[in-house]
Structure 1
């Protein structure tokens, strides 16, 4: 566990392994950002010249290391670019990029701009998220281990608001890191039962109420979607319900997460090159778990119920077949035309069940479609809703939390493509176009009448197959945790 602390400029120790400063850029070239004056003084006012000589220009995410040659107690200065101007997200990304470059170090002092509680939270959150490493299955990788001590230096008075911002950063980062760990875990170790057990442990430690339905309870309860998807695997499915309730809560929000611990596609088998990262298909359920953990610690005045719809989608002699008909919880029937469109089946069960909690809002989050990546790329989630105000609220919450999301429509004309000759609805459309939107339209069919609902497709943002950037590592990202927390806090504040 990384130790995170706060210090002011007068008391900050520079007797550490490295000091991080910010660099901005303008028409005249690079310049030091607020917070770096003391370091520059130690370099006799020539730090910018030294950095420029190494090619530093202050571009966002640019990292330049320079030895101090005894000018400071710290042996190394790490300068990270902030661009022409910076907001909270730019600070998060800069702090993350700097800490990623310092893996294997013992202690780091961060001298990025931190004059307000918001900036303190941004710098601390970015530093902690950038400091993440998944080393559970590695041996002898000391150079990849996280920094053990991080000190954020602030220009603000270290009052209760500023200290609270630091504590919030720690809470959020711990929740996101939990989800990253779960997404990165190999599916041989994180099967549905293991994920449900983890959710129970995390929930109980956080003071949440926890209920877990096993395969027998799911059959008896009529959860045909979860049972159907999970019946091809030797690892049976689970449905987890977590609940947090503030004693002064007047609003209820239900979060529903897709938890496919491995998605082979079932009998509609995926090509092998599309399967090697399908351990990440439980990222939505992970996000719900992480969000509930953080919400329980932050204590907003709201009731939050979380559902984790968990199964493993495998081909076998017991697997569901294309053309099978499933009966979803609540009675609606679905013709399964493609077993690789399984996420919407388990989500349908959980969305209907969430309606029994009489929520003011349901938000589901899922690594649902490859079409999301085609439409929006790997970093931006698609947001659909049955209410325009809800869609804009969720997109706004994501932006303030530092996560990229984009509003998407649910065109009525696409519903006809889901008509089935034998059941109430089919799980895929006969047309290939608008796949992300069609999946959202399918889920909308299971939202209880009169309940506001939003759907987040995080297929791309949940797992980074490329190189690390900012505070985002390769592999599991923990996408949507911060958005869900912000939605709960917004609802507590009367956003709807």
Structure 2
């Protein structure tokens, strides 16, 4: 992972590095003749160019649009041989937002792959508090943009930038604390990305549980794994039903961070861990089925976030309950028409075996509620309907209204776009079953994302603050990289979960 350090006592223009990064803003609407402007933080570098850096960058084609990267040889004007100008995009009167800095620094980190050492001067200069927030955003963006998954490339892939120094106006203690937290969060996101990007022939329920357990043990968490025999003895009919068609038997993983000596609240996290989803007997179309290697992204996020809670020593108890199964068609697979007896006794009629995530989540939710948490959050790549409703970059948040809205706001605040969605009352009747307590799908495609959430609500206690986050689109990026988002696993919604846990720790 890229090393991050704070630049102190050194003029960025005089820093010994392979490259110096500065931010560029678009021309003001009322001053287009003067072209793009330098973002705050570039004053020392601009002085080395006799105040003409913005004009030079304009000649090189810089416009300041988001994600734009322009490279200029410095020819000795500053110590570093290369100047990299990264577009921040249009800003308001208060200057760049945290997400703009995060995205710009991510774009710069991607552009500097293979560089040994770079200095970035992306910052806010208004107050120490804002400068510390800028350190957080720039650090996160740099680490996430520099991420690369190269484990299966014989040539090792293109190396990330090895070291970045962040020039900051923040007070030293504030900046150091911001850097430590940002590094911890970005490391958690990278952990989730690594798990999602690991191919399913190597990441299956048993190996996934073992990897997650090792991460938990290294962080000092309590760890429990239920194998298929223990699941059968416990009556986990949803997990067993989904996993019945695979030779790789299901698991249920439990990780627990105690919250230290005086935890202020308890939070249950549940994540869908379908390590590969063919759809089962209700098999998926062949095109893009390879994307189903990401169907355990919710589980990856929950594991990484629980480890992060321990690393940050958050004063809340965090317990992850993570069901893991592989959904395959075979002579032993569950069928449309089967009735499963879930953990806790509720029965479910299976009308579509490709609606499997809600089945394993339901078992895990009921188990998680036995711990009597103050809050419950589950997350899953649950429905294709989420992509239809909100696209590939916006997560859907459902659940109890006050907590749902809180989670959505916090998610947007950290740059993971999230939107609150309703639970229309009439959809519940459409999950009525002819033979069981509830069916796993309705008889039509309308409102499929909402119906899945309503199904899960059947297993949640009334009055419990609960949020269900559907990340079917945002968890796995299939097109070209942008900002700090690379191709493949994104780590969504680790940063949202981290923000929610921190908010609960601070405010209850």
TM over 0.5: yes
Check the 8 A contact 1:209/1:244 in 2, yes or no: yes
Contact 2:24 2:86 in 1 (8 A): yes
Which residue of the partner structure matches residue 7 of structure 2?
Answer: 7
Which of 164, 168, 171 is 2:184 aligned to? 171
Cα drift, residue 151 of structure 1: 0.8
Mapped partners of 1:250, 1:293: distance in 2: 18
Structure 1 stretch 60-69 or stretch 7-16: which is displaced more? Answer: 7-16
Q: Residue 79 of structure 2 corresponds to which residue in structure 1?
A: 73
Picking from 280, 300, 323, the partner of 2:294 is 280
Task: Give 2:100's match in structure 1, choosing from 90, 95, 118.
Answer: 90
Instruction: Tell me the distance in 2 between the aligned counterparts of 1:225 and 1:110.
Output: 50
* C-alpha distance in 2 between matches for 1:184 and 1:9: 40
CA distance in 2, matches of 1:79, 1:376: 33
Matches within 5 A, 1:347-426: 347-385=361-399, 387-426=400-439
The answer to whether the 8 A contact 1:352-1:448 is kept is no
* Alignment match of 1:315 (pick from 318, 329, 338): 329
Partner of 1:108: 118
TM-score, normalisation: structure 2:
0.95
> What is the deviation of 1:9?
5.8
CA distance in 1, matches of 2:364, 2:120: 43
Cα displacement (A) at 1:368: 0.1
Pairwise CA distance, 1:11: 5.5
Contact 1:19 1:74 in 2 (8 A): yes
Task: Tell me the alpha carbon deviations over residues 8-58 of structure 1, each in whole angstroms, 9 at most, x when there is no partner.
Answer: 363556221111100112222311112112222222322211211122111
Q: Distance in 2 between matches of 1:322 and 1:450?
A: 33
What residue in structure 1 maps to residue 159 of structure 2?
145
On the 8 A contact 1:9/1:153 being kept in 2, the answer is no
Q: Within 5 Å, which residues of 2 pair with 1:230-249?
A: 230-246=243-259, 247-249=261-263
Q: Residue 24 of structure 1 corresponds to which residue in structure 2? A: 25
- Taking the TM superposition and a 5 Å limit, the aligned residue runs for 1:453-464 are 453-464=466-477
Alignment check: 8 A CA contact 1:381 1:461 kept? yes
Distance in 2, Cα, partners of 1:30 & 1:139: 42
- Give how far 1:162 is off: 1.6
For the residue of structure 1 that corresponds to 2:284, the secondary structure is coil
Q: 1:187 & 1:140 partners in 2: Cα distance?
A: 22
1:45 to 48, 51, 60: 51
Contact in 2 for aligned 1:192/1:235 (Cα 8 Å)? yes
CA distance in 2, matches of 1:286, 1:127: 22
Q: Is the 8 A contact 1:259 1:285 kept in 2?
A: yes
Is 2:270–2:299's contact at 8 Å kept on the other side of the alignment? yes
Matches within 5 A, 1:427-442: 427-442=440-455
Helix, strand or coil at the partner of 1:418: coil
Residue-by-residue CA offset, 1:319-349 (whole Å, 9 max, x unaligned): 0011011011000000111100000000000
Distance in 2 between the 1:289 and 1:59 partners?
A: 36
Q: TM-score, normalised by structure 1?
A: 0.97
Q: In structure 2, do the counterparts of structure 1 residues 66 and 9 end up closer, same or farther at CA, with 3 Å as the change threshold?
A: farther
Question: Does the Cα contact within 8 Å between 1:255 and 1:362 map onto a contact in 2?
Answer: yes
> Are the counterparts in 1 of residues 11 and 44 from structure 2 also a CA contact under 8 Å?
no
Displacement, 1:141?
A: 4.8
Q: Quick one: distance in 2 between partners of 1:449 and 1:45?
A: 63
| Aligned residue number for residue 309 of structure 2 | 295
Do the aligned partners of 1:114 and 1:153 also contact (CA within 8 Å) in 2?
Answer: no
> Does the CA contact (< 8 Å) of 2:196 and 2:294 recur in 1?
yes
CA distance in 1, matches of 2:185, 2:18: 26
Name the SS of the counterpart of 1:454 in structure 2.
strand
Q: Which runs of 5+ in 1 are unaligned?
A: none
Does the 8 Å contact 1:8/1:155 carry over to 2?
A: no
Question: Aligned residue for 1:224?
Answer: 237
Looking at structure 2, the residues matched to 290 and 11 of structure 1 have their Cα atoms a distance apart, in angstroms, of: 37
Report how far residue 466 of structure 1 moved.
Answer: 0.9
Query: In structure 2, how many angstroms separate the alpha carbons of the residues matched to 1:56 and 1:340?
Result: 48
SS in 1 for 2:398: strand
1:131 aligned partner: 146
Cα shift at 1:223: 0.5
* Residue ranges of structure 2 left out of the alignment (5+ in a row): 126-130
Helix, strand or coil for the counterpart of 1:135? coil
Q: Is the 8 A contact 1:114 1:156 kept in 2?
A: no
* Distance in 1 between residues matched to 2:156 and 2:229, nearest whole Å: 43
Corresponding residue for 2:62? 56
Q: CA RMSD in A?
A: 1.2
Q: C-alpha deviations, 1:402-445, integer Å up to 9, x for none?
A: 21000000111001111110111110100210010000000000
CA distance in 2, matches of 1:152, 1:489: 25
- Would the aligned equivalents of 1:9 and 1:154 in 2 still touch at CA under 8 Å? no
Residue 187 of structure 1: which of 162, 178, 200 is its match? 200
Structure 1 segments (4+ residues) deviating >6 Å: none
Separation of aligned partners in 1, 2:24 and 2:156: 31
